[in-house]
Each structure stands twice: as structure tokens, then as C-alpha cells.
Structure 1
Amino acid sequence: MSVTTDLDTRPFSAALRASTLQVHEKANYSAYMRALLGGELSQDGYTQLAIQYYFIYGAIEAASDRLAADPVGGEFVFDALRRLPNLELDLAHLVGPDWRSAISPLASTQAYVARVEEASSWAGGYVAHHYTRYLGDIAGGQAIRRLLEKTYDVADAGTLFYHFEGIGSAPKFRDAYRAKLDNAPWSDTERARVIDETVVAFECNVAVFDELAQRLDEFRAA
């Protein structure tokens, strides 16, 4: 079911944001995220999220590599946004030097990765997942970075996932990104598909948070 409204009367980026606001809020106010942002979790409780991000961003950034030369998708490939190098440093700190053999994806993460791979057969589907994750990390993700630094005394390694010095001014970058969304040569039908896939992307995030929430008692700080 399409959730698009008024695509012809406002910039596409504004329509995208408005059409996904409800599911965006659902992600932000999930039980796991409320506990994390409330400072209720142990460091391991956050580490489990970072582990899932490693697999999710692996899928998105593999799609970035495939679409780098695409006339539409390539406009949204930014080397300065790549999170895997920083995630690798974070996990080495949070999990230990043998982190690669110690981590595994949740079932919801595996489903998310499969969806990214399927959706990214089309540039618009790739952009939907790219937009959902990276713009959120640049903006709201900074609250998590501050929490990690304050609550767990984790700075640099451990929080590098949320460091975006390479993009320059975050507000200017977000404005430029939204301009790319507005100028992408999609028809109204394609824009509707992008919005629908963005809703799916948010739901994939919610599913991961919900699965992590099943272990909240284990993750709560002593």
C-alpha cells in the first residue's frame, strides 16, 4: 500500500519525510531505544546494537559499491559516510580483538540485510535504505554518541560509528542530500516506490530493535 501524499505540491524530500514520520517515530520510541537513550542499559546492551549495525552497513555499503557508477544511485554514494571502517574499530574495542569470530546477526538483521540486497537492484530502493540509516545517524545518532561518552566513558574507539567529521557541516550536508532527493529523475510512480521502500527500511530497523528488546533484562545496567 502506498503512503504517498501531495507529491506534486512539495519537494520530494519533504514528502518523503512526512510520509515516513509515523514509522520513524515508531523506531525512535521502541522499547530498546527508550532504554538505551534513557541510560538504562549496560555497555554490552549497546554493543549488541553495534554488532547488528556491522551486518546492516555491510549490506548497504556493498550496494554503494555496486551502484557507484549508476547515474542516479551514484549521486548518493559518499565515501565520507562509510561506516564499516569505524564500526570495525568500535567492535575491536567493545568486543575484543577476536570480534569477527565472536559476533553474529540476529534473525531480524538477516532479514534486513536480505531486504537491502533485494531492494538495491533498483537505485531508488538503495536510496530508500541509504537515506533511512545515514541521515538518522548524522542527526539523532549524535544523542547516542553523547550518551556513550557520558554514561560509559567511551570516547573515540567505541563511538567512532557516530563520528562524521568527513562531511563538514552536518546541516549543510543534510540540505545537499535533500536537494539530491528533490532532483533525482524519478517519476511520481517511482517516488511512491521510494517512499514505500523507506517505510519498509524503518520497519526493518524496528524489527531489530524489537528483537534486541527481548533481552532487555539481560542488558540492563546493574
Structure 2
Amino acid sequence: MPSAMEGSEGGEEGETLRYEEAEDDNVSPTDLSELLKEGTKESHDRAENTQFVKDFLKGRIKKELFKLATVALYFTYSALEEEMDRNRDNPVFAPLYFPVELHRREALVKDLQYFYGEDWGEKIQCSEATQHYVDRIHHVGQHEPELLVAHAYTRYMGDLSGGQVLKKVAQRALKLPSTEEGIQFYTFDNVSSAQQFKQLYRARMNALDLDKNTKERIVEEANQAFRFNMQVLN
């Protein structure tokens, strides 16, 4: 799903996703947050124009497809958070380790229990496209941990931004309970202000001790993460 984007109301045409990042006078064009923002714009545009996302934003999402997307997210975040835990003390990632605020696996388990029942684990399987994504995350976490930043940025910043639009659309289109069963993934109980948290996260990214080459590799990995996401949704 699209990442690092804000949502806005789209009238009869449904919801839309668009950039809306607060300007920070202290940010330099060579800061990682700026390099990622500029370096992934084309990937953002492609991601938000996939048929899955366009249909989703117009409320044309079918429950079975939404369930499969939730399954894919479960396997993706299980891998991502396993590798984040592995690198929690690694200086190339540690400043971005926010398990209480960000981790999604537990929320996804609740969503899977809602959609599939208590024996959900026996009813789901990882698709081939999702497995490729998962394999890449594990490789990065174990062999190139500095690139883990790209995967965390791509997923969590999107979840705190455009993901909140998708939450409203899913709840309405699928007639899900107002108590938010089935969409716990989009609920961040420990983040009081998404905008402030994203600013903190970007500041932490910019403070990482990374050379120019590593920053460029992180931007390329973020674009790769977008490609994985689009392949999963297709």
C-alpha cells in the first residue's frame, strides 16, 4: 500500500492520497529524510495508481481481497519486526526502534482472528510474492542492517499517513464494527500525534551516522520495498 503519504477527502470520487509533509527549516537536502522523500516520489506515484489502491480508495474493496491483504501484511511485518528486534542495539538502526509505538504484528494477529477465527494460523499461507518480500527483509536484517531503515520507513511512515485514510475506507466499505475489529492494523494506540511522531522519526533518521553511499543505497532499497509492495498487491 502507498507509504509516507497523507490522506484527504476526495468527495464522490472516493478518498485520495497526497503528499503533505510539514516543512522543517532545519532539514538539509542531504539529510536522509529529504533524500528518501525526493528519491521515492516516482515509486509513490506508481504505488497509489495500482488498480488495487484505486479500487480501495473508491470503496470497491471486496472482503476476501482485504483478508488476503491482511495475510500478506502479517507475514511482512512478522519478518520486519523480527529483524528490527535482532538489530535493536545496532547503531545503524537502534535510534529507529520503537516497538511499543509502531510494531504491528500483534494488531495483525487480532485482525486475522477476527476474519479467520481462532484457528487462523491453519487457514492462511504466504503467497509467492509476499515470500520474496519476506526473504529480502530477512537478508537485509541479517547481512545489510543499515538497509533495514528503508523497509521500516516505507511501511511505518505510510501506516501513520495514508494508512489512516485506508482505515476509514475499509471500515465503511466492508461494514466493519465501529469498535475497529478487522482494522486493528491501522490503529496506533501509543502514538498520540502521528504528525509529531513522524517528525521525530525523520529527525532520528537524519541523525544516523551514514555516509553518502549508504544513504543512496537506503533510497534504492526503499524503492525496492515499494516494488515488493506493488507485486504483493498485484
**Could you tell me the TM-score, scaled by structure 2's length?**
0.83
Aligned pairs (5 A) from 1:169-188: 169-188=193-212
Question: CA offset at residue 149 of structure 1?
Answer: 1.8
Aligned pairs (5 A) from 1:58-137: 58-79=78-99, 80-120=101-141, 121-137=143-159
Higher RCO (CA-CA < 8 Å; seq separation 6+): 1
2 CA distance for matches of 1:89 and 1:167?
A: 19
User: After superposition, what is the alpha-carbon deviation per residue over 1:157-210, rounded to whole angstroms, capped at 9, x for unaligned?
Assistant: 201000012022100000011111111100001101111111111110011111
Whether the 8 Å CA contact 1:27–1:202 is kept in 2: the answer is yes
Paired residue secondary structure (1:167): coil
Whether the 8 Å CA contact 2:129–2:228 is kept in 1: the answer is yes
Change (3 A) 1:67 1:151: same
Partner in structure 1 of residue 231 of structure 2: 207
* Higher helix proportion: 1
For residue 113 of structure 1, what is the amino acid of its counterpart? Answer: V
Partner in structure 2 of residue 168 of structure 1: 192
For residue 171 of structure 1, what is the amino acid of its counterpart? Answer: Q
User: After superposition, what is the alpha-carbon deviation per residue over 1:16-68, rounded to whole angstroms, capped at 9, x for unaligned?
Assistant: 11100101221121111111222112212211100100000000000011001
The runs of 5 or more residues in structure 1 that have no matched partner are 1-7, 211-222
1 CA distance for matches of 2:201 and 2:33?
A: 9
For residue 108 of structure 2, what is the amino acid of its counterpart? Answer: L
- How many residue pairs align between the two structures? 204
Partner in structure 2 of residue 38 of structure 1: 58
Identity %: 29
2 CA distance for matches of 1:66 and 1:76?
A: 13
For residue 173 of structure 1, what is the amino acid of its counterpart? Answer: F
Aligned pairs (5 A) from 1:139-158: 139-154=161-176, 155=178, 156-158=180-182
Whether the 8 Å CA contact 2:61–2:170 is kept in 1: the answer is no
**Could you tell me the TM-score, scaled by structure 1's length?**
0.88
For residue 141 of structure 1, what is the amino acid of its counterpart? Answer: G
Query: Root-mean-square deviation (CA), in Å?
Result: 1.5
4+ residue stretches of structure 1 with deviation over 3 A?
Answer: none
Whether the 8 Å CA contact 1:36–1:46 is kept in 2: the answer is no
The runs of 5 or more residues in structure 2 that have no matched partner are 1-27
For residue 44 of structure 2, what is the amino acid of its counterpart? Answer: H
